[in-house]
């Protein structure tokens, strides 16, 4: 069912990209109705348009809050062309039919990001725009609705290729996009008003769909929704894959924990190497040494500038992604020598406030794990030394970013062994010790962090036999005293934190 566009209502906040559409509509002899700033914009192009006020006989009132909310406007949109009664009302009340509606919405999300002033935010809740969009979308059989500047190119192509006519399928696609635009907008408003209260439902809307090559595996379709450009500037390399994005997320979370120069290596969301040092080169060398085998093909991240010297060292390794807040030009030139290597300049620290995942036929939502420890309770044979305390704090942070069951072994603020994703805590510790030995680390004087309590004293015994001198764990087992007593009997420091760090 074709419809020729004979009239159009245009009222938009963003004018960029609008001019060629307006000129094309004028060339096609379309009658244009408009309001306020959009009307001025069109008239400055030398193109005639009719003010909506001339149709409604009502001016814009209440400081612009009411402009288009009038039966003569909505009647022209909602009137069904093939309903006799609708057409009688159109004739009786002299309602101009509208075949095309181009309306966008006030920038509510942008306003919330840029100000805390509630009065300013409230005024960016669009009323008329949403109503016009929903009305035109509802009557898609007769009316074409364009609700975003992102669709201007599609509309212009349609106008050029079909000489101002639209087919039913065209209008339905535009309507679908329009309702999605309204839904996203309403979720943003709802989240703003419910930011300090529980609404009883889970609302999330992320736009800007970016199709990915595939998901976790080549046979799975996938897409990313969100504005990744707000976090990074991509300086080199291929498009980020599904698995890349998951690892980048994990990398950003762990590096945000450190203020001193630090480097981390991520593989399948787990930390396989991380260290703090006096400078970026030292941090890189120590992080890589923690597990140079797993680092192959990994995601690298630092909180320091990548200079030419450290770039030369990093360039010797095959890796997927390197993330840093800044790259010196010489370093960038060297690292760009491999065209598929992804280089991301991180604009700001990132750590989520909430985490959620699909489970069964619903969604699990929780606060992000932003805590480190609730208490620092020295419970062993002695208090931890200053050097041990620094390492215990470091190990506790690292362990939080490993899949459970997790054990992290640290010495001099360097991860030297880790066990993760194990069904037994003993297995996790066994893996961590073996990793440390594999790469030649001396465990004498090292510390151990566990993401959850020790149900027995077997882990403390294994750690002691390996040369580890201090442990940190949340505690909370009915048999905590077994571990406490073993540490006391064997001269080990033991810190109870009261904070578990499961990660699944």
**Catalytic site residues?**
138, 268
The answer to whether the beta carbons of residues 134 and 182 sit under 8 Å apart is yes
> What is the C-alpha to C-alpha distance for residues 84 and 60, in angstroms, rounded to an integer?
32
Task: Give φ, ψ of 324 to 5 degrees.
Answer: -155, 155
Torsion sign over Cα 468, 472, 475, 481:
positive
Burial of 417 (0-12, 13-18, 19+ CB in 10 A): buried
**DSSP states of 160-221:** HHHTTEE-HHHHHHHHHHHHHHHHHHHHHHHHHHTTTS--SS-------EEE-S-SSSTTS-
The residues pairing with 224 across neighbouring beta strands, listed in sequence order, are 210
Torsion sign over Cα 112, 117, 118, 121:
negative
Based on its alpha-carbon atoms, the radius of gyration of the chain, rounded to whole angstroms, reads: 30
Count how many Cα atoms sit within 13 Å of the Cα of residue 8 in the half-sphere of its side chain. 32
The answer to whether the beta carbons of residues 190 and 183 sit under 8 Å apart is no
Distance (Å) of CA 474 to CA 23, 132, 396, 407, 418:
68, 56, 10, 13, 18
> What is the C-alpha to C-alpha distance for residues 157 and 152, in angstroms, rounded to an integer?
9
Peptide bond into 70 cis (omega under 30): no
CA-closest candidate to residue 466, choices 426, 414, 412: 426
First CA to last CA across the chain, in angstroms? 53
Residue-wise burial string across 257-273, b where 16 or more C-beta atoms lie within 10 A, e elsewhere = bbeebbbbbbbebbbbb
> What is the C-alpha to C-alpha distance for residues 494 and 504, in angstroms, rounded to an integer?
26
Residue-wise burial string across 121-157, b where 16 or more C-beta atoms lie within 10 A, e elsewhere = beebbbebbbbbbbbbbebbebbbbbbbbebbeebbe
> What is the C-alpha to C-alpha distance for residues 266 and 257, in angstroms, rounded to an integer?
15
CA-closest candidate to residue 443, choices 453, 434, 452: 434
């Amino acid at each position: 069912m074709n419809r020729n566009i004979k009239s159009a209502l245009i009222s938009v906040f963003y004018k960029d990209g609008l001019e060629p559409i307006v000129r094309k509509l004028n060339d096609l002899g379309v009658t244009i109705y408009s309001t306020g700033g959009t009307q001025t914009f069109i008239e400055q192009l030398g193109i005639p348009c009719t003010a909506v006020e001339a149709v409604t006989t009502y001016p814009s009132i209440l400081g612009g809050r009411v402009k288009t909310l009038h039966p003569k406007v909505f009647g022209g949109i909602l009137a069904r062309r093939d309903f006799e009664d609708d057409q009688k009302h159109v004739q009786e009340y002299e309602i101009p039919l509208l075949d095309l509606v181009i309306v966008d919405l006030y920038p509510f999300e942008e306003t919330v990001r840029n100000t805390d002033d509630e009065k300013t935010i409230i005024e960016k809740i669009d009323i008329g725009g949403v109503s016009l969009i929903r009305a035109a979308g509802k009557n898609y059989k007769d009316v074409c609705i364009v609700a975003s500047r992102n669709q201007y190119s599609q509309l212009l192509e349609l106008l050029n290729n079909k000489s101002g006519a639209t087919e039913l399928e065209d209008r339905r696609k535009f309507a679908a996009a329009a309702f999605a635009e309204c839904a996203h907008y309403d979720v943003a408003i709802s989240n703003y008003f419910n930011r300090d209260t529980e609404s009883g439902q889970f609302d999330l809307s992320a736009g800007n769909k970016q199709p990915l090559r595939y998901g976790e595996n080549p046979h799975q379709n996938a897409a990313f929704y969100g504005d990744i450009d707000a976090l990074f500037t991509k300086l080199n390399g291929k498009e980020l894959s599904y698995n890349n994005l998951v690892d980048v997320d994990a990398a950003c979370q762990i590096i945000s924990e450190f203020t001193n120069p630090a480097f981390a290596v991520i593989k399948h969301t787990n930390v396989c190497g991380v260290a703090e040092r006096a400078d970026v080169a030292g941090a890189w060398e120590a992080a890589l040494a923690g597990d140079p085998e797993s680092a192959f093909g990994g995601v690298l991240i630092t909180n320091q500038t990548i200079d030419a010297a450290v770039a030369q060292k990093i360039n010797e390794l095959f890796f997927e992604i390197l993330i840093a807040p800044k790259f010196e030009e010489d370093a960038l030139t060297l690292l760009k020598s491999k065209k598929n290597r992804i280089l991301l300049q991180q604009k700001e620290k990132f750590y989520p406030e909430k985490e959620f995942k699909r489970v069964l036929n619903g969604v699990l939502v929780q606060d992000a794990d932003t805590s480190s420890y609730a208490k620092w309770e020295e419970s062993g044979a002695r208090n931890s030394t200053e050097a041990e305390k620094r390492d215990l704090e470091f190990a506790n942070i690292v362990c939080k970013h490993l899949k459970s069951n997790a054990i992290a072994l640290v010495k001099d603020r360097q991860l030297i062994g880790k066990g993760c994703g194990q069904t037994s805590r003993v297995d996790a510790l066994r893996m961590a010790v073996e990793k440390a030995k594999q790469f030649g680390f001396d465990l004498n004087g090292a510390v151990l962090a566990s993401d959850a309590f020790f149900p027995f004293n077997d882990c403390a015994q294994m750690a002691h036999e390996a040369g580890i001198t201090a442990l940190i764990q949340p505690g909370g087992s009915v048999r905590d005293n077994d571990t406490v007593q073993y540490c006391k009997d064997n001269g080990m420091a033991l810190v109870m934190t009261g904070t578990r760090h499961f990660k699944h």
